[in-house]
Amino acid sequence: MSVVHQMGHHSNNLIDLPEMSAYSGAIFSPINCTEAEASQQIDDVRNSRKDFDIILDPQLYVPATQRGKLRKWEYFPKDVDSADLSSSRWWSDLNKKLSTVSRKIKVNSVCSPVVIPKAFDDKFYSMSVKVCDDLLALSASQKVRVFQTLLVNLSELSDAARSPQIASIISRTEADEIYLIFVSSVIPRRELTAVDDLVGAMRLIRSLEQDDLKVTVGFCSSDILLWKTAGASTCASGKFFNLRRFTRQRFEEPTAEGGGQLPYWFEEGLLSFLREGDILRVRKQDLFSEASKRNPFCLEILALIDGAQQTHADLKPWLKLSWRQFLFWFANMEARLAGREITSSDLLSAADANWKKLDKAKVFMEERDNDGTWIRDWLNVITEFQAASH
């Protein structure tokens, strides 16, 4: 049971922070650095944290993408625009290069390459398994673990049969670990709310875990609550958390340079991302959770806000603090869930009660859609998942 960093642009400076020690590893993305830079970052990490698990995600999801530095990597296929993606040989050639690069930059693990398909059909999943098994065979002698990457179209999981179908095919993999990514069209900063889809997603995780396949759910946000309840071994998140939800559109965005973003505070008491004004409103209602009161980055953010108010000065930027505040909460909450100090249902029920208090006090968040309505959806998701599990 653990959490890992989903590395973004210049995320490496987060790894060494003492407050991030709960993160047992990181999923490196070739988008944000060259091979040489990645190699240097990995060496640096190894110097400070020997047991840190370094996983390479080759990011072949949209082969034609021009994002970041991806095309500069040695394994990235030069013929990607004209390649026959149904060719086993093409994948095998890619795997050979990927295996070589993995060894060269000294990662512990590599995720099998997959593309976002036009249709998430059974043939796509069968091919994913073949590609992974090929990479596994190539990597076995190099002591590099291989994750079976599993891309799932979240909206297809509302069909109750789809989860066991996908799980049945993907569990043919020779790998022992699954890197699971839910592809959705839900826009950044909005919670996933389709109850049937989410129940299906939880059933998928549970089925794979029960078959001794350790699941790492990538690109998590506050939905970690659901994935942990389903039994996911590991959840990954990054500083961009909800801003970088895994949608096809994210590959059409310009490479993030860290600018142009608004800072958010994640409040466990509401299970919601708060803007600056919201933070003050929620504090006035005395609805900060104990987790927030113990989060060192919450204290820093409040000190900045209070300082600016007292001195009538401009508020100093707190974007970096907001990333850290979320990531600290993410790891801390996972540890409490894993240690059975709390349950997702209790957290959701408490948040539901707090949203009710805000409604009664006529407190509204700056963003119209930030109204807590997903909380009751998630409570229903857990109830339905648990009913289906018995």
Partner 1 sequence: MDALELVARRICAKRGMRFAGQVGEGTFKQTFKVLNAQDTPLALKLYKSVGSTGRDQREVKAMLRCQHENIARILAVEKVANAGEEHVAITEEFFLGGTLSSKGQLSLKACKAIGAKLIGAVGHLKELGLVHRDIKPDNIMFRADGVTPVLTDFGVVRDLADSSMTPTWAPRGPGTPFFAAPEQLNNEKSLIDWRTDQFAIGVTLAFSMYENHPYKMGRTSGLEILERVAAREQPGDWFVTKAEQDGVPVLTRMVAPWPIDRYRKPRILGQAWDQQKG
Asked if 199 is part of the footprint of partner 1 (rule: CB under 8 A), the reply reads no
Residues that bind partner 1 (rule: CB under 8 A) add up to a total of 17
Q: Does 192 bind partner 1 (CB under 8 A)?
A: no
Q: In whole angstroms, how close is the CB of 278 to partner 1 at the nearest point?
A: 42
Residue 167 interacts with partner 1 (CB under 8 A)? Answer: yes
Query: Between residue 119 and residue 148, which ones bind partner 1 under the rule CB under 8 A?
Result: 122-123, 125-126
Contact range with partner 1 by CB under 8 A, out of 81-89, 142-150, 185-193, 209-217 = 209-217
Residue 83 CB, shortest distance to partner 1, in Å, is 23
- Among 343, 297, 303, which Cα is nearest to 320's? 297
Using alpha carbons, list the distances in angstroms from residue 73 to 68, 81, 109, 121, 174: 11, 16, 17, 30, 27
DSSP one-letter string for 233-265:
SEEEE-TTGGGG---GGGGTSPPP-S-S----E
Contact region for partner 1 (CB under 8 A) — 117-125, 184-192, 224-232, 375-383?
Answer: 117-125
Residues within window 18-77 making contact with partner 1, judged by CB under 8 A: none
Among 87, 88, 142, 210, binds partner 1 (CB under 8 A): 210
Question: Based on CB atoms, which residue is closest to partner 1, 32 or 148?
Answer: 148
Which letter does DSSP use for residue 313 in this model? P
Residue 213 binds partner 1, judged by CB under 8 A: yes
Q: How far apart are CA 208 and CA 222, in angstroms?
A: 22
Regarding 207 and contact with partner 1 (CB under 8 A), the answer is: yes
Smaller CB separation from partner 1, 74 or 121: 121
69-74, Cβ contacts within 8 angstroms, sequence gap of 24 or more: 69/30, 69/31, 69/32, 69/33, 69/34, 70/30, 70/31, 72/34, 72/35, 73/30, 73/34, 73/35, 73/101, 74/35, 74/100, 74/101
Q: Of these, 24, 108, 155, 165, which contacts partner 1 (CB under 8 A)? A: 165
Q: Are 186 and 222 in contact (CB under 8 A)?
A: no
**Residue list 311-370, contact with partner 1 (CB under 8 A):** none
Residue closer to partner 1 by CB (options 210, 309) is: 210
* Cβ atoms 69, 33 nearer than 8 A: yes
Give the binding range for partner 1 (CB under 8 A) out of 23-31, 48-56, 211-219, 318-326. Answer: 211-219
Report the 3 state secondary structure along 131-195. Answer: HHHHHHHHHHHHCCEEEEEEEEEHHHHHCCCHHHHHHHHHCCCCCCEEEEEEECCCCCCCCCCCH
When asked if residue 208 is in the footprint of partner 1 (CB under 8 A), the reply is yes
CA torsion sign, 371 to 376 to 379 to 384?
negative
* Residue 151 binds partner 1, judged by CB under 8 A: no
Q: Which stretch binds partner 1 (CB under 8 A): 76-84, 165-173, 222-230, 374-382?
A: 165-173
Q: What is the number of residues in the chain?
A: 390
Question: Closer CB to partner 1, residue 107 or residue 202?
Answer: 202
Contact between 100 and partner 1 by CB under 8 A: the answer reads: no
Residues in a beta bridge with 216: 179, 234
Stretch that binds partner 1, among 47-55, 88-96, 202-210, 327-335 (CB under 8 A): 202-210
| Chain residues in the site for partner 1 (CB under 8 A) | 122-123, 125-126, 164-165, 167-169, 171-172, 207-208, 210-213
